[in-house]
A = this chain, B = another copy of it.
């Protein structure tokens, strides 16, 4: 994928620094974005404005030359890493090698991301390299605005996500309600009788569907009743009829590494009046937030639109009570890309939205005594508003 490095060029100019450096494996999305190289173990990337250079182990050397965006690919053995590691230990040898690599590139001062490893930074400083933190999150900020190619990857991940959501919903629809109110699947028990339909069983169906659609994922949330009242509880055990079941799926397309993210809340059969009321209100909050999304609007404004709806209906939010553990207890949304949570934030500090950003909008209400309700769509900010990628998936609570 093409990368726009103009923000880094401007940063290096403004800060009068010689290079922007990252030391991490490609699970660090800034590293993957800047280097274009997917490798599990940490490697060193230096961008000087003229040259994008990576320093990798011998094991990754051939692949880095073929696959990375780098103009220059160097390997540890060029700097006698093995002998130095035998003498000084791994960490000291690595920073010495990095310092030599930077010297070869003519780099005496480096800007690095907030999460650059302290051990490497202190080591480079001991070798006379000036290392300063880029407090503006320049690479994350650049990542927030997507190219068409990146948007297409998010679209594909969203299609897979909708297929997985449909698989989850169909499983809940297919379940029977046992005498104790729990959901069961007929004929799936070891003895040919019914077996409980659990959070884990639904998550497995979701994840298998995602794999069949070229996506992977780390975690899925299928949380029922009191579990659903904690937005980060992944859920476990049997599902219950008439309780809210939050299904939150955030896959990553394997080929591109781009994510999607969506949530629906279901109830098998009629829920309590409270859950039904929360659902309608949350749908209203979703619409209010979407209404506010356009270039130039701030993430803070979109978040405020949700807080307004909830507070007007008498629910606590983190705006009305920073310590509340019930009500609307998270932010309204976040950017989605190489990370499932990235810039921009739809929260009290959220800045101006720009066309090409991908954001989730996910209002929700939570209380252990009631359960949880959350509805999450994923949208692209466009020149004249937004494109809702999840618009075709119904927002319907009751599954018969």
Contacts and interface: CB of A to CB of B under 8 A. Distances in A.
A291 interface: no
5 contacts: A40-B341, A58-B322, A60-B232, A204-B211, A211-B211
A59 B232 contact: yes
Interface in A25-57: 27, 39-41
A176 interface: no
A104 interface: no
Contacts of A212: 204, 208
Interface string A207-233: 110011000111100000000001111
Contact of A349 (B85, B204, B219): B85
Interface of A: 27, 39-41, 58-63, 77, 82, 85-86, 89-92, 112-122, 131, 133, 135, 204, 207-208, 211-212, 216-219, 230-233, 318, 322-325, 329-330, 341, 348-349
Contact of A122 (B61, B91, B133): B133
B91 A118 contact: no
Nearest to A331: B59
A58 B230 CA distance: 11
Task: Please give me the 9 A-B residue pairs with the lowest Cβ-Cβ distance, nearest first.
Answer: A114-B119, A115-B117, A116-B118, A118-B121, A77-B322, A119-B133, A118-B118, A207-B211, A59-B330
